[in-house]
Structure 1
């Protein structure tokens, strides 16, 4: 079902059984782009909720969902079974694996890598510029990488260049300034490892 108020630009390919709610925009070309037409592909069974904007050049797998007013910039690669929450912003040239959940009001900057099965809590901010607004800042961006199965708690900030290890857990409100080992539990500002997830009262 595609709402009559949705705007679907040329070069958009939608899979089967997609739901596109009111005032969604899909395939808008970014300002200043004058290259070859950018094809936008969204797989089967997508649910794109109202007022979401998805720019041109994205490739998105099956069973994709957004909350209301999600904003997804151009030229991202997004896997299957991904959910992006209300008011979350995903900037351009990111790679998001399958089974990823990004909760509401998070910020995912350009060049971020989020691997399969990672979980990003609400109000998480990833960063990619060590010295924002400095000369040459845009030419020296350093991406965050969240490895497979990692969990990032609510209101976490992760600094540029940090790698969050596989199945690591970052406690709510932490500020992560250095790499997080696989399966580590880190908390605080600056975040420090306090235990392994093997010591938690559940299996991961």
Structure 2
């Protein structure tokens, strides 16, 4: 049933199981399913046909576009963007003949604050996506991605660095870059970027 009497919105065609926490201002749209034990933060938007698995934790201000399944074992920190039809996994060696059922089999994946996961990318389980990293559309990510990294391809490879605002960084000879959109300065050192 459509819910407008609470401080969040659930479309009448969405299914939200019992024992779910939903933060203020969050919107859950058509044909989405939020499973038991899930915790969704404030001011999130879950598009059409989104599945949130049991015990998944989603931070505040996350945007999960259409046709995304956030499986058990995945944690999204604040301000994470999941592009349309991107894919998470939670088992490394899936077999129908030898099913792995229960949370003890699920391999953890962490997507840190502000990361953007492009449309149709795949995140193989057991890795960490760094703060404000940007995963290109269609990329297949098989290993950890550092903060502010821009990765593309299959398998995903580092091709550059982006600011908190998602703008490509151009470093000077001293290893510094400035982003006008975020009004922040960054330093590249030992193949890692930090905000200064």
Q: Same fold (TM over 0.5)?
A: yes
Q: Residue 10 of structure 2 contacts residue 28 of structure 2 at CA under 8 Å; is this kept in 1?
A: yes
1:143 aligns with 2:101: no
Q: Residue 74 of structure 1 contacts residue 93 of structure 1 at CA under 8 Å; is this kept in 2?
A: yes
Matches within 5 A, 1:12-23: 18-19=3-4
The correspondence for 1:197, drawn from 148, 157, 162, is 162
Q: Deviations over 1:64-102 (max 9, x none)?
A: 101211111110111110111100111111110001110
Q: Residue 145 of structure 1 contacts residue 163 of structure 1 at CA under 8 Å; is this kept in 2?
A: yes
Distance in 2 (alpha carbons) for counterparts of 1:86 and 1:186: 27
1:124 aligns with 2:86: yes
1:168 aligns with 2:133: yes
Q: Residue 13 of structure 2 contacts residue 29 of structure 2 at CA under 8 Å; is this kept in 1?
A: no
* RMSD of Structure 2 on Structure 1 (CA): 1.9
Residue matched to 1:10: none
Distance in 1 (alpha carbons) for counterparts of 2:106 and 2:11: 31
Distance in 1 (alpha carbons) for counterparts of 2:155 and 2:168: 21
Distance in 1 (alpha carbons) for counterparts of 2:109 and 2:34: 18
The correspondence for 1:83, drawn from 45, 50, 65, is 45
Distance in 2 (alpha carbons) for counterparts of 1:195 and 1:117: 21
Distance in 2 (alpha carbons) for counterparts of 1:89 and 1:79: 15
Q: How many angstroms does 1:19 deviate by? A: 1.8
Distance in 2 (alpha carbons) for counterparts of 1:143 and 1:69: 26
Residue matched to 1:106: 68
SS in 1 for 2:16: strand
TM-score, with length taken from structure 1: 0.76
Matches within 5 A, 1:55-66: 55-66=17-28
Distance in 1 (alpha carbons) for counterparts of 2:19 and 2:64: 20
Q: Residue 67 of structure 1 contacts residue 104 of structure 1 at CA under 8 Å; is this kept in 2?
A: no
SS in 2 for 1:93: coil
Report the number of matched residues.
166
1:67 aligns with 2:29: yes
Residue matched to 1:94: 56
Q: How many angstroms does 1:136 deviate by? A: 6.4
Please identify, of 193-202 and 103-112, the stretch whose mean Cα deviation from structure 2 is larger. 193-202
Q: How many angstroms does 1:143 deviate by? A: 1.9
